[in-house]
Amino acid sequence: MSYPGGPDGPSVAGPEVTGPYVTGPAAIGQSDGPPVTGPHLIREVHPGLAGAVGSLWLAVTRAGGAIGFTRDAPEPAVRAAAEVAVGDVRAGFEHLLALGSGQAVVGTVSVVPGPSRVSAHRGTVVRLMVHPDLHGRGWGGRLLDAVVAHSRSLGLEQLLLSARSGTPLPAYYAARGWTEVGRWPGAVRVGPGDDRDEVWFQLRI
Ligand SMILES: CC(C)(COP(=O)(O)OP(=O)(O)OC[C@H]1O[C@@H](n2cnc3c(N)ncnc32)[C@H](O)[C@@H]1OP(=O)(O)O)[C@@H](O)C(=O)NCCC(=O)NCCS
């Protein structure tokens, strides 16, 4: 993935795409649109990255995705969260893998290695998301495989992620070899009277 001033390292898989990033609506998944490439490891943060990730996160949220928000979340809140996440990538706390399509970011997943000596052998996988127009084509699986491979290359020995109950996500991870190791009942309030469990999944890698 070769964005100007952006991720120029070798991709985990796939050819390169070019920037700058698109932060507004883009033709995603069109048969005549730019091909999807990646997952690419983001080694350097381009100034447009937070906007592009924010656009993806917003599209995923509006489609009912379960990443920190509910469908009706205010756009500025989602974009602010993307800024924080990309700040963590810039600071080196978080390793981001992305899918590109032309100048848009159409999929992401990150791993956050444990920050202390006692947690340095483990990582937390966050923000697995694929643009809604591209669901069901294997991109989520490729991102998940890539983040596992990258985590292994970092020397991590186990991964944790959390998923919202009442969605297809727990089954999605279980089907891909992750083991449910616990849950926090009612930890996620998606609406009045609609509390969901946060389900924790572990993968030894
Ligand atoms: C979860 C997600 C990343 C999967 O990506 P994807 O590219 O559609 O997944 P794949 O094509 O690799 O796999 C398709 C599988 O996902 C399931 N799936 C399709 N849409 C889904 C959705 N909206 N949510 C969860 N699972 C979904 C399909 O049933 C299929 O399952 P199977 O392979 O076990 O039969 C994607 O659905 C997504 O971005 N969801 C919204 C964001 C989100 O909630 N992320 C999870 C945070 S824990």
Amino acid at 198: E
From the CA of 171, give the closest atom in ligand 1. 34
Of 9-18, 92-101, 141-150, 153-162, the one with minimum mean pLDDT is 9-18
pTM: 0.87
51-97 pLDDT tens trace: 999 999 999 999 999 999 999 999 999 999 999 999 999 999 999 99
State if residue 126 touches ligand 1 by the CB under 6 angstroms criterion. Answer: no
Q: Is the CB of 200 under 6 A from ligand 1?
A: no
Which CATH code is given to the segment(s) 36-204? 3.40.630.30
Q: Where are the domains of the chain?
A: 36-204
Q: Report residue 90: phi and psi, to 5°.
A: -60, -40
Q: How far is CA 152 from CA 48, 89, 134, 148, 199, in A?
A: 29, 18, 27, 6, 23
